[in-house]
Every structure is written in structure tokens, then in C-alpha cells.
Amino acid sequence: MNLRLYEVAMAGCIRVLLIDLLAERATFGHGGNQEVVRPLAAAGDVEVLLVTPQYQSIESSNQSDAGEVNLTEMDVPDWDDDYPFWQSTEVELEGRVVTFRRIVMPMHEDQERMESWLSKIKIDALVCSGSRRNVSIWEEWMGPAGTLMRSSAQSGIPTLGICFGHQLLCHTLGSTIERADSLSSGIWKIDLTEKGDSDELLTSHRCNNIAISGLFTHQDHVITVPKNCTLLSTTSHNKVTAVRVNDSSGNALPAWGIQFHPEAAKARIERAFEWGHITAEEHSAFKGEHDGAGILASFASIILNQ
């Protein structure tokens, strides 16, 4: 057992803060969250703290001054009732029971205060999911969510932005985001830059330098590489596919934005199609193999080795 795994065993569990922007979608939302934490559950106990800024009232933010406070239905007056609210739930993953629990987050854009809150809740990693919203069609809650991502990334907490999360992280670090005329859905080969070719998130799972691919479904595109970030990959349809955040001296931090969906496991795609959450055209486009599971396993290793 390596030192970090020993520390995890002694401490009790890894704590992941997940910005849950698809809370209303059982398959790609809650199901996708499970795929994100699955490789961590294979290594040890995990607790997932969920925040939902897209539904949380501004007023409820005051509670977060105390640190970790459970979210209640009163705190989310605009909750999508097609997916019933729950405060916490337990899921068995890799033979372990993983608790998913909703908490109140600060709804402001003060980075110093946000970093203080992150310190209080003592997390080991932060992940931001995809969303049916768009950074190019700005909503008020996106400011606090972006500040949370930036604060986590620049604090050295392992941070991963997926699809919308990638766009929001890049936007809050200074990128231009533009909306394309049509949706891009499918599996594309990922072309690695020189830095990307040795990046631990994107390549530590691959063998013999084989090509990697990702599953994409998005209409917003990151157009410019944000300040203090390194471009790791492009695709034929999307020029800023993955970035890594650096500190002010140019040193790489354990923080990434990726435009593709590593959590889109085959079983999730099949269930989404059965439940009518994706079209027949999207289902057909998503049938190929992609490297999502390997990339999530690499992110789990990064968390465990911090």
C-alpha cells in the first residue's frame, strides 16, 4: 500500500466536492457522478458533497459561513420537480457504500472567502459536471460556480471541469466562449500537444502511445486558451479540448478542464437512450469506444497521490 492509500485508510475516506449541474437527469447526472467517483471507490471509502448553484437561492448562501451545512428543499426554491429532491443517498460502488450528500455553497464571487470556505469543508478534490445550460447564455449562478472552480484550482486542490465545467473554468480564467451554429455529438480522436503527450491525466492510462479518444456533446466552444493555462489537446472540431491550470510562476497545478465526457460509460448511454434522454441519432454517434474510464482512473490516482 502506498503512503497516500495508507493515509486514506487511516483518515476514513476521500471527500469529493461535486458541482452537480445535471441534478435533474438521473442517468447522465446522478449516474455520471457515480462514474466519476467509481475509481476512487475501488481504492477506498468515498464521500461526495454535492452543490447545486443553479437551483440554490442567494439568501441561503449566508449559511455557508459556518462551513459544511446540509442543503434543504427550502434552499432550492426553483428545483426541477421532475427529479425529486433528496438531501442524501447511498450507492454501492465497487463493493463499497458511497454517500452522496447535498450541502449549501457560497453564492458570491469573492475568491478569498471562497478559499476560506473550501478550507473549512476539507475536501480532497473538486469536479464540475456538464450542464444543459450554456456559458455563452450567462446566468447569475454561474459567477459563484466559476469562482468556486477557480478557487479550488488555484489552491492546488485536484480539480476537474467536464464539458460545461471545462468551459466555466476557462471562462473564469479569461477565455472567450462562443456558441456554434449546431450541436457537436460523437466520438473524436484527441490530438495531444507536446505538453499533452506527457500529461498524467490524459495519458497515464494508455499503453504503447496509442491514440486516445473522447465522447463529445456540446454547442459552446472554448475559443482561446486561458491565461496561466497550458493547452493539452485539440480535435478536428474543437481547438481547445483540454487545458491544465498553472500557478503564477508557470508550474502545473493538479487542475484540468476537458471538453469531452469521460463519465459517459456505455451502460449509462444505453440507459439514457432507453429512458428517452438522448435521441436515436445521438445514441448512434456514441456507440464507439473512448478513453473516459481510463482518464477518470488517472484522476483518481492523482487525488490519491497528492
- Distance CA(183)–CA(242), nearest Å, equals 19
Amino acid letter, residue 187:
I
What is the tens place of the pLDDT at every residue in 37-51?
A: 999 999 999 999 999
* 24 pLDDT higher than 90: no
Q: What is the DSSP letter of 233?
A: E
Q: Give the pLDDT score at 265.
A: 58
pLDDT tens, 274-290?
656 656 666 565 566 77
Global pTM value: 0.91
Nearest residue to 86 via CA among 72, 99, 75, 74: 72
Question: What domains are there in the chain, each with its CATH number?
Answer: 3-304 (3.40.50.880)
Helical pair 31-41 and 266-274, crossing angle rounded to 10 deg: 160
What lies within 8 Å, CB to CB, of 89 at 6+ separation is: 99, 100
Write down the mean pLDDT value for the chain.
Answer: 90
Residue-wise pLDDT tens digits, 162-210: 999 999 999 999 999 999 999 898 889 999 999 999 999 999 888 777 8
Task: Judge whether 39 and 296 are in contact, CB under 8 Å.
Answer: yes
pLDDT at 268: 60
Q: What tens digit of pLDDT does each residue of 109-158 get?
A: 999 999 999 999 999 999 999 999 999 999 999 999 999 999 999 999 99
- pLDDT score of 185: 87
